[in-house]
Amino acid sequence: MNHLVPQTMGQQFGRRSWAEPWKIKMVEPLRMISREERQRALEEAGYNTFLLRSEDVYIDLLTDSGTSAMSDRQWAGMMLGDEAYAGSRNFYHLEEAVRTYYGFRHVVPTHQGRGAEHLISQTAIKPGQFVPGNMYFTTTRLHQELAGGIFVDVIIDEAHDPESLHPFKGNVDLAKLEDLISRVGAEQIAYISLAGTVNMAGGQPVSMANVQALRELCDRRGIRIFLDATRLVENAFFIQEREEGYAGRSIAQILREFCDYADGAWMSAKKDNLVNIGGWLAVNDDSLFEELRNLVVVYEGLHTYGGLAGRDMETLAIGIEESVQDDHIRARIGQVRYLGELLTDWEIPVVQPVGGHAIFLDARRFYPHIPQDEFPAQTLAAELYLDSGIRSMERGIASAGRDPKTGDHHRPKLELTRLTIPRRVYTQAHMDVVAESVKAVHDARESTRGLRMTYEPKYLRFFQARFERL
Ligand SMILES: *Cc1c(COP(=O)(O)O)cnc(C)c1O
């Protein structure tokens, strides 16, 4: 069986193999250091994969953020950078690409996603207001809280269950949302923060029916919807594959229809949009845009560059166009799925169904003997690095941080280690190597001990926290 063939392609082509829709023009050699060197590197990094040097990593699955390979067209676009301080032609190209593919009227470039999150949070949240969302994302929630907002998780319960096979685990539970609205009043809701796919739930999609129903509810109550569009192209793939009536529609059409239900979006272009740095914020409302355009000057740069060079905006405009090509997104998700199927066949606990950008190892089931306060997902990331030099990331209790009121750990139900696949970077052979390393760590699971945190930063602690072995 050829695992790389997503179901839709398999049906189309029967048993014929199918490969990545690109060939390699330039290579970057990989280096693998010895186990002793890896042990030393891990200790120096305080058992935190964020603190490792990239040079000491063999296959880097820390994140799919800014790690994509750009195309020859994007590299050519770098040379077309118009580095004028104001009114760069690359800005207008970017604006046109966002308008065409995402459909929003006004576009503000930002240096990356969190720059956009900062601006939208400061302009659209009044202190004390609630911000319901389909599960939190680290930087998103922090910016909402720094603006005085109170985040409320309104995702369906299935999202918190790593074994549930619900096809759209990113969906909003409309009953939870209605309940919140009737408790606090619609005027106390800043906006709905809707992400597709949902990173922290395992890259799980939101259905078109769900965003449509959400729009109806919000229209009745006069509430705005803003999208975290970071992985919305991947979300469109799942709609095309799983939702009735969308099999014959293109990714670009589905993406556009989804966005049409929202009032605006922020974007970490380092993910779906295939660039190494960049972001944007886009809204339909004229007066909100006025405010954003004013605020971006304070924090990012003039409203026609927002912290980006002209060449960055050019590669981003081209990246947007490439990201919505059906064969690109099928290959991207097909590769993630290939790795997921190998691990599933070997009975290694991973979040099901496999999502869009990563495999999430379920550290609770992987290490049932390690209590959550001893950081099982962080432990698993450290063990993987030690085994083979593969770098992954914790998405569990360390990432969840502390409750700002009580000071106690947030204790998320999901305790996961994320193997995130960069776009257009690794081959199927790399995926085989990764799967075999996970299996080796799984085989040695019973003798593995947990970790203790020895240093804890105040904000987004998972980035810089240090640990030692118990
Ligand atoms: C990465 C990410 C962000 C933040 O974007 P940066 O470009 O890293 O600042 C926001 N939301 C989601 C879902 C993300 O994955």
pLDDT one-digit tens code per residue, 57-86 = 999 999 999 999 999 999 999 999 999 999
Query: What is residue 12's predicted lDDT score, i.e. its pLDDT?
Result: 52
Residue 421 corresponds to which tokens in the numbers above?
Answer: 């696949």
The answer, yes or no, to whether any atom of ligand 1 lies below 6 A from the CB of 243, is no
| Res. 151: pLDDT tops 70 | yes
pLDDT band at 9 (very low <50, low <70, confident <90, very high): very low
Ligand 1 atom nearest to 198, measured from its CA: 13
User: Using CB atoms within 10 A of its CB, is residue 215 exposed (0-12), middle (13-18) or buried (19+)?
Assistant: middle
Average pLDDT for 149-154: 97
Give yes or no for residue 4 having a pLDDT over 90. Answer: no
For residue 13, the model assigns a pLDDT of: 52
Task: Give the rounded percent of residues in the chain with a pLDDT score beyond 70.
Answer: 97
Q: What average pLDDT does the structure give for the chain?
A: 95
Confidence of residue 194 (pLDDT cuts 50, 70, 90): very high
Q: How far is the CA of 68 from the centre of ligand 1 (A)?
A: 14
Mean pLDDT of 438-445: 98
Residue linked to tokens 């129903």:
213
Is 233's pLDDT higher than 60? yes
Q: What is the pLDDT of residue 174?
A: 98
At 14 the pLDDT is: 60
The mean per-residue pLDDT over the stretch 98-126 comes to 98
d(CA 300, CA 296): 5
Identify the pLDDT of residue 2.
42
Residue 10 has pLDDT above 80, yes or no: no
Please indicate whether residue 132, judged by its CB atom, sits closer than 6 Å to ligand 1: no
Residue to mutate (ligand 1; options 141, 143, 199; most atoms within 8 A of CB): 199
pLDDT of residue 290: 97
Q: Which residue would you say has higher pLDDT here, 69 or 11?
A: 69
* Residue 11 pLDDT greater than 80, yes or no: no
Ligand 1 pocket residue status of 305, Cβ below 6 Å: no
Residue 300 beta carbon below 6 angstroms from any ligand 1 atom: no
Does 3 score more than 70 pLDDT? no
Which range is least confidently modeled, 154-158, 264-268, 352-356?
352-356
What pTM, to 2 d.p., does this model score? Answer: 0.92
Each residue's pLDDT tens digit, 13-33? 566 777 899 999 999 999 999
Mean pLDDT value across residues 421-441: 97
Per-residue confidence (pLDDT) for residue 92, from 0 to 100: 98
**What residue ranges define each of the domains in the chain, with the CATH number in brackets?**
35-60+326-469 (3.90.1150.10), 72-323 (3.40.640.10)
Mean pLDDT on 98-116: 98
Q: Ligand 1 centre from 181 Cα, in Å? A: 27
Q: Which residues are catalytic?
A: 85, 137-138, 228, 271, 395, 462
